[in-house]
A and B are shown apart, each in its own frame.
Chain A
Amino acid sequence: MWKWKRKEKQQQPQQQEKKKQNGTLSEFIQAMQESEDFVHYNLSGSTRCTISYLKTMCDSQVLNRSVLSTLNQKSLPTLRDMQESIPVENVRVTSKLDLIEEKVMYGYIMIQLHEKDEEVVLVPAISLESRNVSIPEVEFSVVGPKEAFVETMNTNINLIRKRLPLPQLTIKEMNVGKVTKTRVAVIYIDGIVNQDNVDTVQQRLKGIEVDQLTDSSFITQIIADNSNSPFPQLLDTERPDRVVSNLVEGKVAILIDGSPHALTCPTTVVEFFGASDDYFLPWHLATAFRLIRLFAVIFSVLSTPLYVAVLTYHHEMIPAALMATIVSSRSDIPFPPILEVIVLELTIELLREAGARLPTKIGQTIGIVGGIVIGTAAVDAGLTSNVLLIIVALSALASFTTPIYQIGNTIRLIRFPFLIGAQLWGLIGVSMCMVYFIGHLIKLQSIGRPFFEPLYPLRIKDLKDAFIRLPFNKQTERPVLMRTEDPQRMNQSRVNAKRDIDE
């Protein structure tokens, strides 16, 4: 029965599609005239013609200075003449209806000789309304470049191109989304990238069946190898410098018009814990910070489950000196540890959610009110223990140390299965949960490449820039993961050339 219903649903959209297709150009113009911002009139100067354009999409400067002035100065009897004399780049003559429709919708000016003509001149006059390039807010860094992507793709490509002045930097564009027809660009460096990766990405992008595409995260979810996984399998970043260094490593980047984030792939789970700051610091400091971040993540996921496990089942494990602290802080609490933890964890999630939805200034106030007032009040009222309050606050703090926002969400949520495991079978439950996630990570793939990479498959070479970051002269090779066509980053012998004393 289910199958039958589904079939019926599939048939409906196809019929609608057929209806939508317009027959002729005049029908298109008629349809467009329904909108108030569509301008359509006959020009009666030295050149007689019909001009139509969307005034909200057109650059009026182009229209007034280049198009109208040219048309009024000279007499241009044919479309070819117009194409030659209008001082705008890439003016074209066409009679293809779908092309005309698309271009007009983007803000091209359409010029016909007579109203009924099928052949037209298209003058590009797109007005690009966009935000200025600003400081990265999600992936902020104290040192290093402070440019972030914006919502216009051309600006974004510009940000990448100016860092990579290479003829090999290749950009392939396509339109995705049945209704939105969003521009999507696949960027890679020819000669470094493995063509398989590019093909996979392009194939998957072409295969996307979706009506609207308003952000890069749509793509992440749709083309992921396993869309049921809580782990993002494409890395999204708002930093052009990060995209560039990924491209140089041999990865593929995807840019989506209207989204201030770029996606890079294939990626690995450890890459989500590396910040661009790591490359701006000396390698030992960077390594230390990376390890701290890794520890923070482990702490964030495991601390409350361990609290539940130990307090519920294994209190022999608490050292005698700590026993007094923990027991006396818990002695007033009417709930079992699991309930206490879940209530407090949900409170923190609530605070974060409220803080994220509100404007920055009010958000801060909410944070303070929630954190301090609710926290102390809950302890005073004897609803939660202050030991747990410390643990939960720390683990929330630790979950925000991840440089990539997407994985932070994952980390905050995967602790709930761990909590259930801890309540079921104490430490054994926790480790069962852990095995499940490790198994899941091993199974995961990013564009067909293993997601758990430097760990499994174990690649010592890639471990140089995973949990630790070795100095640049030790990283003369590109990661094995990408299987690049040119594995050498630089000339190893010249990098490591040894000099004698006083030479």
Chain B
Amino acid sequence: MNKLNNTQGLNIPENYLVTPAYVFFLIHSMQVGVGILGFEKYLVEKAGFDAWISVLIAGGILHIILWMMYRLLQNGGGDIVQIHNSIFGKYIGGLLSLLFCAYYTLLAFTVIITFIEVIKVWVFPGLQVWVFAFVLIWLVYYLVSGGFRVITGICLISVIIGLPILLLKFFPVEAGHTMNIYPMISHDLTDILGATKQSILSFIGLEFLLIYYPFIKQPEKSKKWAHFGIFYTTMLYLISVLVTFVYYSEEQLKQVVWGTISAWKIVEFPFIERFEFVGIAMWLYVILPNICLGLWGATRIPKRVFKIKQKYVVITFCIALYFPAVLLDGRPVIDMVNNLSGQLGTYVLMYIPVLLVLKMISDKVRKRS
């Protein structure tokens, strides 16, 4: 316990902590973002209609990584900055933590530009990005300035609002060709593993646990909720994949950039048609936790490393995010940024086992000496 008290910034007053059950919402809402709107296409390119197996495998891998993260955090007694400092020392550790900060920022940034792209393609081709991005980032700033509890609240709301969108999956199933999915594995293992890697890209987000872990009340109890969150995400992705496979033919899906949005088009109610507009508007709730938590995580690291006020870091980062969000444009660039953040995401996930091993070695060394 003494060790905890020594580290500045880790002693979080109790009224800023959240109960363990919220880890479910934090993990789940961070994993689901813009990716789910169009990830099916990339899976199908790799493994065809067998890609649903890849989703399950990816879910399994994430469970293992989550378990490792908990091991790491429970022994490390704090967040990623603390762990880095204890393994690599102040300077190298700080540098590595800053890399994490960059990665978190990139994630938030990716979500912002992809969402703007979706709006430009589907709703307003003539959107003045510089105004929209300004308001969006201001909104994010407003939420982030409320602190971690507010962000958790947004995660919760996002999951609740996301539920009715899930029910819309019923419409494509009704219109689809159910015989397309047949438990027949026609692709070899490398294809399926390729698709697994691809689906991990859209699954990233749980690594934020490394930074908000100290904010959880009785963190040991949150374990099951975290696993539950990943399980729920996996099921959600699995359902999405299956529905998309039922609705589109394999070659058709390769042409469709945003499968889920296209499928919303067929939703019709007596008072409303063309549900994709509502869907995209509601999607704001789903992506906001990504941006907010991303920005919060990214700005907390400088606070912990340099001991500066997070408030100013958030403002700086908001301004820093705004200009590239306005300037970057066009499908190829956005694809590139998405791929980059996905790649980095997989590296981060691969880094966690390495970190765990290093941590165990350093603990042992320290014990001896």
The answer to whether any beta carbons of A and B sit under 8 Å apart in the complex is: yes
A428 vs B129: C-alpha distance when bound (angstroms): 13
- Write out the residue numbers on chain B whose beta carbons fall within 8 Å of the beta carbon of A457: 18-19, 153
Q: Are B124 and A425 in contact (CB under 8 A)?
A: yes
Known contacts A426-B123, A435-B139, A456-B156; decide if A317 and B284 are in contact (CB<8 Å).
no
Within 8 A of B (CB), among A426-472: 426-428, 430-432, 435-436, 438-439, 442-443, 452, 455-458
Q: A23 interface residue, CB < 8 Å from B?
A: no
Centre residue among A430, A443, A455 by max chain B CB count within 10 A? A443
Min Cβ gap A145→B in Å is 37
A457 vs B146: C-alpha distance when bound (angstroms): 15
Q: Are A442 and B132 in contact (CB under 8 A)?
A: no
- Write out the residue numbers on chain B whose beta carbons fall within 8 Å of the beta carbon of A427: 123, 277-278, 280-281
- Write out the residue numbers on chain A whose beta carbons fall within 8 Å of the beta carbon of B153: 438-439, 442, 452, 456-457
Neighbour of B284 across the interface among A435, A442, A452, A458, CB < 8 A? A435
Q: Are B150 and A439 in contact (CB under 8 A)?
A: yes
Q: B157 interface residue, CB < 8 Å from A?
A: yes
Min Cβ gap A447→B in Å is 14
Q: Are B271 and A316 in contact (CB under 8 A)?
A: no
Neighbour of B154 across the interface among A426, A432, A438, A458, CB < 8 A? A438
Please encode chain A, from 302 to 318, with 1 for each CB lying within 8 Å of some chain B CB and 0 for all others.
00000000000110111
Nearest A residue to B144, CB-CB:
A439
Add 5 more A-B contacts to A431-B285, A442-B146, A456-B152 (CB < 8 A): A313-B123, A317-B272, A317-B277, A320-B273, A426-B124
Neighbour of B139 across the interface among A320, A436, A442, A456, CB < 8 A? A436
Q: Are A458 and B156 in contact (CB under 8 A)?
A: yes
A439 vs B288: C-alpha distance when bound (angstroms): 11
Neighbour of B281 across the interface among A431, A436, A438, A443, CB < 8 A? A431
Residues in chain B within 8 A of chain A (CB atoms): 18-19, 21, 119, 123-124, 127, 132, 135-136, 139, 142-143, 146, 149-150, 152-154, 156-157, 268, 270-274, 277-278, 280-282, 284-285, 288
- Write out the residue numbers on chain B whose beta carbons fall within 8 Å of the beta carbon of A31: none
Q: Are A431 and B284 in contact (CB under 8 A)?
A: yes
Min Cβ gap B59→A in Å is 25
Q: Are A439 and B146 in contact (CB under 8 A)?
A: yes
Known contacts A432-B136, A435-B288, A438-B154; decide if A319 and B281 are in contact (CB<8 Å).
no
Q: A142 interface residue, CB < 8 Å from B?
A: no
- Write out the residue numbers on chain B whose beta carbons fall within 8 Å of the beta carbon of A318: 272-273
Min Cβ gap A440→B in Å is 8
- Write out the residue numbers on chain A whose beta carbons fall within 8 Å of the beta carbon of B150: 439, 442-443
The 10 closest A-B pairs by CB, nearest first: A427-B281, A442-B153, A456-B153, A431-B281, A314-B277, A316-B274, A443-B146, A431-B284, A439-B143, A428-B281
- 12 A-B residue pairs with CB within 8 Å: A316-B274, A318-B272, A320-B273, A321-B270, A426-B281, A427-B277, A428-B119, A435-B288, A439-B146, A456-B152, A456-B157, A457-B153
A426 vs B276: C-alpha distance when bound (angstroms): 13
Centre residue among B124, B268, B277 by max chain A CB count within 10 A? B277
- Write out the residue numbers on chain A whose beta carbons fall within 8 Å of the beta carbon of B149: 442
Size bin of chain A's contact surface = 20 to 34
Min Cβ gap B328→A in Å is 20
Q: Are B274 and A428 in contact (CB under 8 A)?
A: no
A314 vs B274: C-alpha distance when bound (angstroms): 9
Known contacts A428-B123, A442-B153; decide if A435 and B272 are in contact (CB<8 Å).
no
Min Cβ gap A337→B in Å is 16
A428 vs B282: C-alpha distance when bound (angstroms): 8
Q: Are B142 and A439 in contact (CB under 8 A)?
A: yes
Nearest B residue to A319, CB-CB:
B273
Q: Are A431 and B272 in contact (CB under 8 A)?
A: no
Known contacts A439-B150, A457-B19; decide if A316 and B273 are in contact (CB<8 Å).
yes
- Write out the residue numbers on chain A whose beta carbons fall within 8 Å of the beta carbon of B152: 456
Q: A322 interface residue, CB < 8 Å from B?
A: yes
- Write out the residue numbers on chain B whose beta carbons fall within 8 Å of the beta carbon of A313: 123-124
Neighbour of B135 across the interface among A426, A432, A455, CB < 8 A? A432
Nearest B residue to A441, CB-CB:
B153
A316 vs B273: C-alpha distance when bound (angstroms): 7
Neighbour of A442 across the interface among B21, B154, B271, B277, CB < 8 A? B154
- Write out the residue numbers on chain A whose beta carbons fall within 8 Å of the beta carbon of B124: 313, 425-426
Centre residue among B21, B143, B282 by max chain A CB count within 10 A? B143
Q: Are B139 and A432 in contact (CB under 8 A)?
A: yes
A39 vs B150: C-alpha distance when bound (angstroms): 62
Please encode chain A, from 232 to 266, with 1 for each CB lying within 8 Å of some chain B CB and 0 for all others.
00000000000000000000000000000000000
Known contacts A319-B268, A456-B153, A458-B156; decide if A435 and B285 are in contact (CB<8 Å).
yes
- Write out the residue numbers on chain A whose beta carbons fall within 8 Å of the beta carbon of B281: 426-428, 430-431
Min Cβ gap B325→A in Å is 15
Min Cβ gap B273→A in Å is 5
A320 vs B152: C-alpha distance when bound (angstroms): 41
- Write out the residue numbers on chain B whose beta carbons fall within 8 Å of the beta carbon of A456: 152-153, 156-157
A321 vs B272: C-alpha distance when bound (angstroms): 10
A430 vs B278: C-alpha distance when bound (angstroms): 10
Q: Are A438 and B157 in contact (CB under 8 A)?
A: yes
Min Cβ gap A163→B in Å is 35
Min Cβ gap B130→A in Å is 13
Neighbour of B132 across the interface among A316, A322, A425, A443, CB < 8 A? A425
A191 vs B272: C-alpha distance when bound (angstroms): 54
A322 vs B268: C-alpha distance when bound (angstroms): 13
Q: Are B284 and A428 in contact (CB under 8 A)?
A: yes
Q: Are B157 and A317 in contact (CB under 8 A)?
A: no
Nearest A residue to B145, CB-CB:
A443
- Write out the residue numbers on chain B whose beta carbons fall within 8 Å of the beta carbon of A439: 139, 142-143, 146, 150, 153-154
- Write out the residue numbers on chain A whose beta carbons fall within 8 Å of the beta carbon of B19: 457
A494 vs B271: C-alpha distance when bound (angstroms): 50
A320 vs B278: C-alpha distance when bound (angstroms): 18
A431 vs B154: C-alpha distance when bound (angstroms): 13
Within 8 A of B (CB), among A392-437: 425-428, 430-432, 435-436
- Write out the residue numbers on chain B whose beta carbons fall within 8 Å of the beta carbon of A430: 281
A431 vs B139: C-alpha distance when bound (angstroms): 12
A316 vs B274: C-alpha distance when bound (angstroms): 7
A456 vs B158: C-alpha distance when bound (angstroms): 12
Min Cβ gap A102→B in Å is 41
- Write out the residue numbers on chain B whose beta carbons fall within 8 Å of the beta carbon of A320: 273
A318 vs B268: C-alpha distance when bound (angstroms): 10
Nearest B residue to A317, CB-CB:
B274
A322 vs B285: C-alpha distance when bound (angstroms): 29
